[in-house]
Amino acid sequence: MSDNGDKDTDIDLDNQPGGSTALKHDHDHNPTGKNQWGQIAPLTEELKTEIEGLFHRNITQSKRILEALSNKGYKIGRTKLFSYLAKMRAEKRIGTSRNPLSSDAEQTQAVLSAMDDDPNGTRGPRRIKESLGHKGIHISRDKITQVMQDYAPEGFHQRAPGTKVIHRTPLISNGPNDEWSMDGHDKLAKAGFEIYGIRDKYSGKYLHYVVLPSNRYAAVIGVVLLKCIKKYGVIPVQGSTDRGSEVRDAFSIHSILRQHFAPDLVEELIPSWNFLVSYRNITVERSWRPVFEKWGVNILTFYNTGLYSGDFKRDDELHKQTAAWIWYPIVQRELDIFCLEQNCHRVRKQNEKLLPSGGSADDFYSYPEKYGGEQCGIEVDMRVIDQLLDEAVEGKQRMCHVDEDFEQLAIAAHVAIGLPAITLHSAWSVFRHMIAHLSQ
């Protein structure tokens, strides 16, 4: 079902009397602005600001604009208004849903961002249009509807009269690599460690969890996906994420690879990507609680012990780079160990569960036939993946936790102090010795 409401009635700046003429010929038959109705208000900066304010209040219809300006004491006719609006449009000061200033891709991202602010999917296209309009972003309701139908079609049913409850259904999957669920985790972000994880839906296996300076860059998440693909030699039939802008590159990479290496899969029948609201991205979301409670809190305890001991100077660049050089590898190593343990952990038999139980995630992933599943991964040419990784310069640069020049200095300092082992328990002791050497 679709949401009801009136069609857009915004001004078409390219198809109005006086609008396009004013742009093309810059000719006015009444340059003085005087007629039988009195002096017409000239297009001053003050008037431009008033009009911009109206557009930011979602007042974009000519009748309402004229009424609002009249209440402010501006005498303007409809034809003159269109001329003024055309000039402001040419100056990139205003846009409407029919004449947007943003590109199609930018409009799509604006709608996705608005949808992300509504995780329960309570707002339809009309409400989204109004919300964006109040931010000065004017997009046609047809475009908004199209994006919402493409990325979250279930929302239209959810908002239908009588459909108020979110119906939860059991997770189902055909086998390993049928679907990879991906998301970021930020509970360690204050310490500087952001995480991005990829988990297999069928087996629950923690496929690839990475510690990053930031998990919000599309180029970075693209590299994370490519490394996961290289690690397992396949791509999934489908990927699942929320609608954050950081998944742009990963979505593009997967879509192109699947189209090339599995051309028989019909996109309309089996979409290559599922864009979900966060609470629907269940497979990876369920991993974050154990990640934090069984692993993250301990990492923070060790890290904060030295951070607040007085040895670490927050505003000192040398201290920040040295701490990052020491701690990022530790945190990644400990996260790898945690994932290994989780994948080996045996879960109890659950007869009501549609996904496999009574074994470990590694068992379910490696031997799906024992649990009624089948391998679903799509094999890809690793030379293609290597080439894409070689070309992913921006993503790899943003994944670096220290400057390239400092990396060499830190290695030399570590050698100079005797190459002591760096563990959770020794990290801050090594930090003090390295700082003493680097400060000489």
3-state helix/strand/coil string of the chain: CCCCCCCCCCCCCCCCCCHHHHHHHCCCCCCCCEECCEECCCCCHHHHHHHHHHHHCCCCCHHHHHHHHHHCCCCCCHHHHHHHHHHHHHCCCCCCCCCCCCCHHHHHHHHHHHHHCCCCCCCCHHHHHHHHHCCCCCCCHHHHHHHHHHHCCHHHHHCCCCCCCCCCCCCCCCCCCCEEEEEEECCCHHHCCEEEEEEECCCCCEEEEEEECCCCCHHHHHHHHHHHHHHHCEECCEEEECCCHHHHHHHHHHHHHHHHHCCCCCCCCCCCEEECCHHHCHHHHHHHHHHHHHHHHHHHHHHHHHHCCCCCCCCCHHHHHHHHHHHHHHHHHHHHHHHHHHHHCEECCCCCCCCCCCEEHHHHHHCHHHHCCCCCCEECCHHHHHHHHHHCHHHHHHCCCCCHHHHHHHHHHHHHCCCCCCCCCCHHHHHHHHHHHHCC
Q: Looking at the domain assignment, is residue 170 inside a domain?
A: no
Pairing of strands 346-347, 206-212: unpaired
pLDDT of 163-192, one tens digit each?
444 444 455 688 999 999 999 999 999 999
pLDDT score recorded for residue 58: 67
pLDDT score recorded for residue 133: 75
Q: Tell me what the pLDDT averaged over the chain comes to.
A: 84
Overall average pLDDT of the 219-225 stretch: 98
pLDDT score recorded for residue 128: 80
Q: Looking at the domain assignment, is residue 225 inside a domain?
A: yes
pLDDT of 37-80, one tens digit each?
557 888 888 888 888 777 776 677 788 788 888 888 888 888 88
pLDDT of 132-166, one tens digit each?
776 778 888 888 888 888 777 766 655 555 544 44
Q: Looking at the domain assignment, is residue 193 inside a domain?
A: yes
User: Within this chain, do residues 263 and 212 fall inside the same structural domain, yes or no?
Assistant: yes
pLDDT score recorded for residue 282: 85
Is 115 or 134 the better-scoring residue by pLDDT?
Answer: 115
List CB contacts of 309: < 8 A, sequence separation 6 or more.
428
Distance CA 240, CA 201 (A): 10
Overall average pLDDT of the 9-36 stretch: 49
Q: Which range is least confidently modeled, 80-84, 194-198, 413-417?
A: 80-84
pLDDT of 245-288, one tens digit each?
999 999 999 999 999 999 999 999 999 999 987 667 888 999 99
User: Within this chain, do residues 121 and 32 fall inside the same structural domain, yes or no?
Assistant: no
Q: Are 191 and 32 in contact, with CB atoms under 8 Å apart? A: no
User: Within this chain, do residues 379 and 269 fall inside the same structural domain, yes or no?
Assistant: yes
User: Within this chain, do residues 236 and 352 fall inside the same structural domain, yes or no?
Assistant: yes
pLDDT score recorded for residue 428: 96
The number of folded domains in the chain is 3
Q: Determine the structural domain holding residue 30 and report its residue range.
A: 19-90
User: Within this chain, do residues 282 and 372 fall inside the same structural domain, yes or no?
Assistant: yes
Distance CA 367, CA 397 (A): 37
Is 292 or 90 the better-scoring residue by pLDDT?
Answer: 292
pLDDT score recorded for residue 61: 77
Q: Looking at the domain assignment, is residue 412 inside a domain?
A: no
Percent of the chain with pLDDT over 70: 82
Q: Looking at the domain assignment, is residue 62 inside a domain?
A: yes
Q: Looking at the domain assignment, is residue 386 inside a domain?
A: yes
User: Within this chain, do residues 133 and 183 fall inside the same structural domain, yes or no?
Assistant: no
User: Within this chain, do residues 147 and 212 fall inside the same structural domain, yes or no?
Assistant: no
Overall average pLDDT of the 189-218 stretch: 96
Overall average pLDDT of the 334-345 stretch: 92
Q: Looking at the domain assignment, is residue 408 inside a domain?
A: no
pLDDT score recorded for residue 7: 43
User: Within this chain, do residues 261 and 390 fall inside the same structural domain, yes or no?
Assistant: yes
User: Within this chain, do residues 322 and 198 fall inside the same structural domain, yes or no?
Assistant: yes
- pTM confidence score: 0.63
User: Within this chain, do residues 275 and 389 fall inside the same structural domain, yes or no?
Assistant: yes
pLDDT score recorded for residue 19: 43
User: Within this chain, do residues 80 and 222 fall inside the same structural domain, yes or no?
Assistant: no
